[in-house]
């Protein structure tokens, strides 16, 4: 493997957003040694979990070669870049690397504004959840100018194993939203199937095992149902509120492109209603399966191992 000096293409990275995903991503970036890393989070305690310096964004932005954002929404990205003035503080030639799940339309507009200041914009949202953020095996969808993408590639490779250039700025965020829409469709569809089978008298655990060796399997059945749904823990690390935000972004893309999406719209409506009906603050997105099952009077976690078919 090449030395850090060989792969180092940025002198200083300001990483903002040390949440469920951001903290392990920043830890992997620090461990890779491909940059001088400075971090910031609204919760100062999170920065203290890393063995790298923390800094004030307004001061550090002027010294950063890359401003890396891993925050919950486009509104926060816009607030940081425009409201707090970080875009104006970046030097010409710097790169904004937005790894958040942002709205593509917002990203396109921000990229234009950045270009007007000589700043390049790369959107690089991730998929894989908290588990792969910890192991550094995220899938990263990257939109932006090819040269700028190559400049940040060593950073991306420290956090992910699949890095795919998707097109111009905004394309990465569009693909991330659409990916999350398909993921939600799989989660909701599996919930309806397992609930129907449970009411018939089948054991949801047996159903899951059979589905995962059959044509009905999907990411949700293979990765989410046993550890987070049938266990009753509902703690995958991705909030239902954030999923609903991404799903609405995906539906907006469909509307903007004139694409009919009857299946997707039904799932988005269900997820939004589940969010409204769920009292737990910060509820995990896997509670969508619990909500769907509860509509039929079924508790999949309680039913696992108990059902007997007629």
Catalytic residues: 176
β partners of residue 140? 126, 163
Contact 96, 154 (CB under 8 A): no
């Amino acid at each position: 493997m090449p030395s850090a000096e060989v792969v180092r293409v940025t002198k200083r990275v300001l990483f903002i957003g040390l949440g469920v995903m951001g903290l392990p991503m920043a830890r992997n970036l620090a461990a890779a040694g491909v940059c001088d890393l400075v971090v910031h989070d609204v919760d100062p305690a999170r920065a203290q979990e890393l063995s790298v310096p923390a800094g004030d964004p307004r001061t550090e932005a002027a010294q950063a070669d890359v401003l890396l954002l891993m925050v919950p929404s486009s509104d926060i990205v816009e607030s940081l870049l425009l409201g707090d003035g970080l875009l104006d503080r970046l030097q010409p030639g710097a790169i904004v690397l937005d790894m958040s799940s942002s709205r593509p339309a917002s990203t396109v507009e921000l990229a234009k504004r950045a270009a007007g200041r000589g700043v390049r914009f790369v959107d690089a949202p991730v998929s894989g959840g908290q588990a792969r953020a910890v192991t550094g095996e995220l899938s990263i969808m990257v939109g932006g100018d090819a040269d700028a993408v190559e400049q940040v590639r060593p950073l991306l490779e420290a956090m992910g194993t699949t890095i795919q250039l998707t097109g111009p700025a905004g394309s990465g965020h569009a693909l991330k939203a659409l990916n999350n829409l398909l993921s939600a469709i799989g989660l909701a569809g599996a919930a309806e199937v397992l609930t129907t089978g449970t009411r018939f008298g089948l054991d949801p655990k047996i159903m899951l095992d059979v589905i995962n060796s059959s044509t009905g399997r999907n990411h949700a059945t293979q990765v989410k149902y046993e550890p987070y749904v049938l266990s009753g823990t509902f703690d995958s690390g991705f909030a239902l509120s954030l999923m609903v935000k991404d799903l609405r972004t995906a539906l907006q893309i469909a509307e903007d492109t004139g694409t009919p999406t009857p299946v997707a719209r039904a799932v988005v409506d269900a997820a939004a209603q589940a969010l409204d009906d769920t009292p737990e603050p910060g509820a995990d997105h896997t509670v969508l399966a619990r909500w769907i099952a509860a509509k039929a009077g079924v508790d999949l976690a309680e039913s696992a191992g108990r059902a007997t078919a007629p």
